[in-house]
Amino acid sequence: MKNLLNTPIEYLKGVGPKRAVVLKEGAGIYTYWDLLNYFPFRYIDRSQFHKIGEVNEEIGLVQIKGRLRTFQEIGINRSKRLVASIEDETGQIELVWFKGIKWVKPSLQVGTEYIVFGKASRFGAKYNIAHPELTLLDGKASKIGGFQPVYHSGDKLTGKGLNSKGFEGIIKNLIPQIKGFVHENLPNHILSKFNLISREQAMLLIHQPSNMKEAQSAQLRLKFEELFFLQLLLVKQKQVVRSKSRGHVFEKVGPLFNSLYKEHLPFDLTGAQKKVLKEIRYDLGSGSQMNRLLQGDVGSGKTLVALFSMLIAIDCGFQASLMAPTEILAIQHFETLKEFLQDLPITVALLTGSTKATDRKLIHEQLENGSLHILVGTHALLEDKVKFKNVGLSVIDEQHRFGVAQRARVWKKNKIPPHILVMTATPIPRTLAMTFYGDLDVSVIDEMPPGRKPVSTQHRFDSARNTVFGFIEKEIRKGRQVYIVYPLIEESEKLDYKDLMDGYESIVRRFPQPAYQVSIVHGRMKSADKDHEMSRFVAGETQIMVATTVIEVGVNVPNASIMVVESAEKFGLSQLHQLRGRVGRGAEQSYCILMTSYKLTDDAKKRLETMVRTNDGFEIAEVDLKLRGPGDIMGTQQSGLLDLKIADLARDGQLLKYARDTAFDLISDDPELTKPEHATVRRQLVEMIKERPNWSRIS
Ligand code: ADP
Ligand code: MG
């Protein structure tokens, strides 16, 4: 079927071949439809005028009418600026230009009335507007006014007259032609449930609203549509995976589980741990393969949940594996499990890159004959030589370090794939989890074991270093241990490395042997040396661990009570949170001290302020999402999912939830979308899958 909206963009009035080239290259606009989908990113309301007396920063962009009183150039060289004063009957305000003075100055006429438009900023008790838009009141004033869309542009586009106004112009030529060509793709029952306007109406109003309310109703409709189809795709995938992947059925909780739970566990599980175990038990008994993501803050007790899940598999006659991203972590897991399982008839082994050949051989044998129940290890578990008799559950810890491909290899370890439990201590904001892991089930441990004292977090400037060192000394005297972490950022690796070494030397000078022992771990060391230093600290032989972020993930030294982060402004929020999670693991009050220089960007201030304010990983993740945006948080690998045209995962969380629920309801009501009223939904979905084949297996 021919649709006008498929017409190549050069045929639109006001475009032509030259502009078409920059539209394609600079904005990905090839057709009328693409242009129609080039939405404004904000709107300016120029229908309202403010009195100078009521100007404040909350208004944002202000528009005033006033008479020019004076103007003069002040300052020299780099501080040169043009300052004008404009007044109405309620007061006066300054206008300032730092650039383009020679263009602006000749156009100013004292005593003349202007319309001034721009952002007001406060300086002490006064306001000024920098680089305002100025229009003579009796000149082009009639062209101003109304509610205006603002479009993104770029140098090349602007060079061909396609600044925001230019886009507004060509879209004005397109809008009158679209009637009848924008087809509705949501069924009526959804439109009316959420009070959404039609698709055609939305396309019109998103570009040419007459007020904010109209713009918002267009945005709502288009955001919902975008999120709904994305979620529908994920929900559908989940349904397909479910029905295709048969899973082992572990119906009952057996003697091993009960024995640990009732006789050997020195404490009760938290409510959150119980809730999550229930979710996992349900999955394991369902007959389909489990694909579950377990989120929980550092120290929330995920390992124990993993252990109980493994016991369910073993009780049913299967084996289990637990894979960690580093050798240190694998060893820790191995020891934790051994301790919990010491009175149970269960065999556990550790397999890493440094396992000796003879031990390795034995492990392979025991795995294949089924006498080994739990295998803990690193990537070494993925090697082809590692064959299980029948692995029923594979746990993967700290998912961020494992790629998609590796997860798939775990699957291939059996004819019927094992159930998969992925654990992550990096909380992911709800909206991202719903999108990135939309085809996985997500469990959350949102409660800490009792008796934990929250870590007290403080921000200190470098000038307070002596005080901080004094505090460290006092804690060490009490028998505690301390981490001091330096940044290591690839781009400035040399410099960072020098900082680390300088820091190390000054610490050794301040905390001299033999009274003090200082460990150091960084990326340039051989891994055997790293492990050696690390284990000295773990064993309490050294009191201070100076390190780069290699210690970020998972290390457990309950006696460490202080985490000092040097140049904390260089760390991201989730990194800071991970680092803080290294302390506060014992019964003592712990401290996290964030050291910075005085020079801080606004974002850095926000990060530090957030860390000081809260210990809640999910809250921190939400702030992180707002500061960095989804692409930076999840990495670009899966950025296909982030090509959202209008919805914003950082801001539209509630709408996303509605969209997801609606998608679930629709699929459960009409699994194959065969009902006539869902034909349009189905068509759209098929098209999406065709357009983006990489979506067919997202995680
Ligand atoms: P995570 O892996 O989520 O960071 P862990 O599983 O390592 O957390 O647990 C952290 C510590 O808390 C461990 O020492 C563990 O034994 C302890 N722990 C776990 N669950 C409980 C509980 N319900 N009550 C008391 N302590 C617990
Ligand atoms: Mg852990």
- Domains of the chain (ranges; CATH) run 48-144 (2.40.50.140), 182-245+619-699 (no CATH), 255-284+300-424 (3.40.50.300), 456-614 (3.40.50.300)
- pLDDT band, residue 439 (cuts 50/70/90): low
- Residue 547: is its pLDDT beyond 80? yes
CB atoms within 10 A of CB 309: 27
Asked whether the beta carbons of 230 and 695 are under 8 A apart, the reply is no
Shortest-distance Cα residue to atom 11 of ligand 1: 299
Exposed / middle / buried, residue 338 (Cβ in 10 Å: 0-12, 13-18, 19+):
middle
pLDDT of residue 200: 96
**The pTM of the whole model exceeds 0.75:** no
pLDDT tens, 620-662?
Answer: 988 998 888 776 766 644 545 567 889 988 889 899 999 999 9
- Give the number of the ligand closest to the Cα of residue 298: 1
pLDDT of residue 697: 40
Locate the ligand 1 atom nearest the alpha carbon of residue 554 and give its number.
4
Q: Kindly provide the residue ranges of all beta strands, DSSP E only, lying in 227-382, ordered along the sequence.
A: 291-296, 319-323, 348-351, 374-377
pLDDT of residue 690: 77
Strand pairing class (456-461; 591-596):
parallel
pLDDT of residue 1: 47
pLDDT of residue 328: 81
- Residue 342: is its pLDDT beyond 60? yes
Q: Which of 304, 337, 552 to mutate to test the pocket of ligand 1 (most atoms within 8 A of CB)?
A: 304
- Residue 559: is its pLDDT beyond 60? yes
- pLDDT band, residue 489 (cuts 50/70/90): low
Q: Output the average pLDDT for the chain.
A: 88
Nearest to 387 by CA among 351, 407, 414: 414
| Ligand 1 midpoint to CA 302 (Å) | 7
Containing H/E element for 592?
A: strand 591-596
| Ligand 1 midpoint to CA 82 (Å) | 63
- Give the number of the ligand closest to the Cα of residue 397: 2
pLDDT tens, 15-37?
Answer: 999 999 999 999 999 999 999 99
pLDDT of residue 696: 41
pLDDT of residue 593: 98
Nearest to 440 by CA among 294, 651, 309, 284: 294
pLDDT of residue 496: 79
Nearest to 340 by CA among 396, 448, 265: 265
- Residue 2: is its pLDDT beyond 70? no
Kindly state the average pLDDT of the residues 497-510: 90
Asked if omega into 514 is within 30° of 0 (cis), the reply is yes
- Give the number of the ligand closest to the Cα of residue 266: 1
Kindly state the average pLDDT of the residues 369-374: 96
Nearest to 522 by CA among 486, 495, 482, 557: 486
* Cα–chain center distance at 411: 27
Any residues with Cβ below 6 Å from ligand 1, and which? 267, 269-270, 273, 296, 298-304, 425, 449
- Residue 672: is its pLDDT beyond 70? yes
Nearest to 643 by CA among 681, 682, 574, 691: 691
Locate the ligand 1 atom nearest the alpha carbon of residue 269 and give its number.
23
Shortest-distance Cα residue to atom 25 of ligand 1: 449
pLDDT of residue 695: 44
CA atoms of 555 and 332, how far apart (whole Å):
8
- Residue 100: is its pLDDT beyond 50? yes
Locate the ligand 1 atom nearest the alpha carbon of residue 336 and give its number.
16
For the chain, how many residues are written? 699
- Give the number of the ligand closest to the Cα of residue 296: 1
Kindly state the average pLDDT of the residues 483-495: 79
pLDDT of residue 359: 95
Shortest-distance Cα residue to atom 17 of ligand 1: 301
Lowest mean pLDDT among 138-142, 149-153, 385-389: 138-142
Kindly state the average pLDDT of the residues 454-460: 95
- Residue 694: is its pLDDT beyond 60? no
Strand pairing class (42-45; 147-150):
antiparallel
Exposed / middle / buried, residue 102 (Cβ in 10 Å: 0-12, 13-18, 19+):
exposed
More confident site: 493 or 581: 581
Query: How many alpha carbons lie under 13 Å from residue 350 in its C-beta half-sphere?
Result: 19
CA atoms of 624 and 630, how far apart (whole Å):
9
CA atoms of 269 and 100, how far apart (whole Å):
67
pLDDT over 90 for what percent of the chain? 59
Asked whether the beta carbons of 444 and 296 are under 8 A apart, the reply is yes
| Ligand 1 midpoint to CA 46 (Å) | 58
| Ligand 1 midpoint to CA 560 (Å) | 16
CA atoms of 74 and 82, how far apart (whole Å):
6
Handedness of CA 664, 426, 404, 396 (dihedral sign): negative
pLDDT of residue 133: 86
More confident site: 411 or 217: 217
pLDDT of residue 470: 96
| Ligand 2 midpoint to CA 617 (Å) | 14
- pLDDT band, residue 164 (cuts 50/70/90): very high
- Residue 699: is its pLDDT beyond 50? no
- Residue 457: is its pLDDT beyond 50? yes
DSSP at 455: P
| Ligand 1 midpoint to CA 435 (Å) | 29
Handedness of CA 532, 537, 540, 545 (dihedral sign): positive
- Residue 45: is its pLDDT beyond 90? no
pLDDT of residue 141: 55
- Residue 248: is its pLDDT beyond 50? yes
| Ligand 1 midpoint to CA 299 (Å) | 5
